[in-house]
Amino acid sequence: MTTHYDVPGEHLVGALANTLKSDEAISPPEWSSFVKTAVHKEKSPSQPDWWYFRTASVLRKIGVNGPIGTERLARHYSGARDRGAKPNRSEGGSRKVLRLIMQQLEVAGLIEKAKQGGRGLTPKGQSMLDNTAFDVKKKLEKEIASLSKY
């Protein structure tokens, strides 16, 4: 059985983003076209459908590291902030974006609040991750013949 641990993250996130585009509960807000994803970024994302890719990435991160909250997720999307002449410091990602994404995933029934804090995958979210991973693995096996032995 193929799980989301068995395929590379970048391939899984791309396929998962395409799957999430068809979900009614997942939709970018009005302000998503001009918002920055973190304090350390200088510009907003250049991809028009970046919201779906970030949502897929958050869903995968919850599957791998969950249950996880916005504070730890913000650290996953952190980076060095340019402070001029002063030394750079690490700044977290936007927790507003992450919180809204997690709320949308909750409405879609893919994640739920955990008793010990944060949010974890539901069985529906787990099956979506694993089914997408299975499709990605089949596609990769066709492209790269040497992967079929795994």
- Enumerate domains of the chain plus CATH numbers: 9-149 (1.10.10.10)
**Tens of each residue's pLDDT in the chain, 150 residues:** 788 888 888 999 999 999 999 988 899 999 988 888 888 888 888 888 999 999 999 999 999 997 999 999 999 998 999 989 999 999 998 899 999 999 999 999 999 999 988 899 999 999 999 999 999 998 888 877 765 565
Model pTM greater than 0.85? yes
Instruction: At 44, list the tokens.
Output: 């907003």
Cα separations in angstroms, 122 against 6, 31, 39, 112, 139: 19, 29, 31, 6, 26
User: What digits encode the pLDDT tens for the residues 65-77?
Assistant: 979 999 999 999 9
Other C-beta atoms within 10 Å of 147: how many?
12
